[in-house]
């Protein structure tokens, strides 16, 4: 049996940059992700915090110069003469601003979100995201797949989510800040977040997965399924099982499969 805090042995589960962890529940979707080397990126409506990435906190800037800039940018990119004539006749900066405001929510929902954490010893995360330690925790080396893990960033925890003004043309990337702020009640997660420009399946390099940690209350059938999936689809991945804590703050594990 090994302690998670002892990093000096050959079976140590390495922590800190560039290593990241992802908790998953004990179901077929988890086994599919493991078998086919992908992570499912959800839209913001699937998150468990209604304030998280909520587009209601984004308002388009009503600055006159910003409205003109938006109008001119759209107008300059209309190539069809008939469409351009209709635009010039029926649209002004204020109307365009109103129309653009209706597009914020679908724009925010178009991003895919996947959540990771910095540490695997978090009992709350095992309980919430791994169905009371019945699921697994995936251990990745993000440096092994820099394209997939590009721009994985920590969540910034704040006292209150505030409305922010969005300048669609002059500061087009400012809206991304919306995805990286949560209230302090979630700070125990120590979350790292990864965004993609789409939702659904996104493949990762199999070599970036280092270890699979199985929860201490996982059922025998699920344990066998995880072991078989790893053996059949990875040549290097180790499987460990967490040992039920005997005191607060202690997390130990035992090897189940070492290739």
What is the per-residue pLDDT across 194-250, written as a single tens digit (0 to 9) for each? 999 899 999 999 999 999 999 999 999 999 999 999 999 999 999 999 988 755 556
Tell me the per-residue pLDDT of 19-55, one tens digit each, with 9 for 90 and over: 999 999 999 999 999 999 999 999 888 887 887 877 7
- Within a domain: 71: no
Model confidence over 55-82: pLDDT tens digits? Answer: 777 676 676 676 666 556 555 655 667 6
Q: Quick check: is 190 in a domain?
A: yes
pLDDT band of residue 100 (cuts 50, 70, 90) is low
Tell me the whole-structure pTM to 2 decimals.
Answer: 0.81
For residues 16-28, one letter each, b for 16 or more C-beta atoms within 10 angstroms of the residue's C-beta and e for the rest, the string is eeebbbbbbbbee
Domain extent, residue 154, equals: 2-38+114-163+174-257
100 in a structural domain: no
Span 103-130, average pLDDT = 86
For the chain, give percent helix, strand, coil, nearest 5. 35, 25, 40
Residue 43 belongs to some domain of the structure: no
Please tell me which residue, 8 or 194, carries the higher pLDDT value: 194
Mean pLDDT of 158-174: 69
Please report whether residue 73 resides in a domain. Answer: no
Q: pLDDT band for position 14 (50/70/90)?
A: confident
Sequence-ordered strand ranges (E) for the chain: 2-3, 19-24, 38-41, 58-60, 112-117, 136-141, 153-154, 156-158, 164-166, 181-183, 191-196, 200-203, 209-214, 238-243, 252-257
Structural domain total, the chain: 1
- For the stretch 122-135, pLDDT in tens is 888 999 999 999 99
């Amino acid at each position: 049996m090994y302690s998670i805090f002892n990093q000096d042995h050959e079976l140590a589960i390495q922590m800190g940059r560039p290593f990241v962890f992802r908790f998953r529940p004990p179901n077929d979707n988890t086994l599919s992700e493991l078998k086919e080397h992908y992570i499912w990126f959800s839209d913001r409506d699937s998150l468990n915090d209604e304030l998280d990435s909520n587009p209601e906190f984004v308002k388009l800037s009503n600055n006159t110069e910003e409205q003109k800039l938006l109008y001119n940018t759209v107008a300059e990119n209309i190539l069809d003469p008939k469409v351009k004539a209709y635009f010039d006749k029926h649209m002004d900066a204020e109307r365009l601003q109103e129309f653009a405001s209706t597009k914020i929510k679908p724009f925010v929902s178009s991003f895919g979100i996947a959540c990771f954490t910095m540490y695997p010893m978090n009992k709350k995360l095992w309980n919430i995201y791994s169905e009371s330690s019945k699921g697994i925790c995936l251990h990745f080396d993000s440096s092994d797949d820099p394209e997939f893990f590009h721009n994985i960033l920590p969540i910034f925890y704040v006292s209150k989510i505030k409305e922010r003004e969005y300048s669609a043309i002059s500061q087009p990337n400012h809206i991304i800040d919306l995805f990286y702020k949560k209230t302090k009640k979630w700070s125990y997660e120590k979350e790292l977040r990864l965004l993609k420009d789409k939702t659904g399946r996104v493949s990762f390099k199999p070599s970036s997965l280092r270890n699979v940690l199985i929860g201490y209350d996982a059922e025998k059938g699920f344990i066998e399924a995880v072991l078989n999936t790893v053996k059949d689809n990875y040549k290097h991945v180790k499987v460990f099982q967490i040992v039920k804590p005997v005191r607060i703050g202690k997390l130990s594990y035992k090897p189940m499969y070492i290739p």
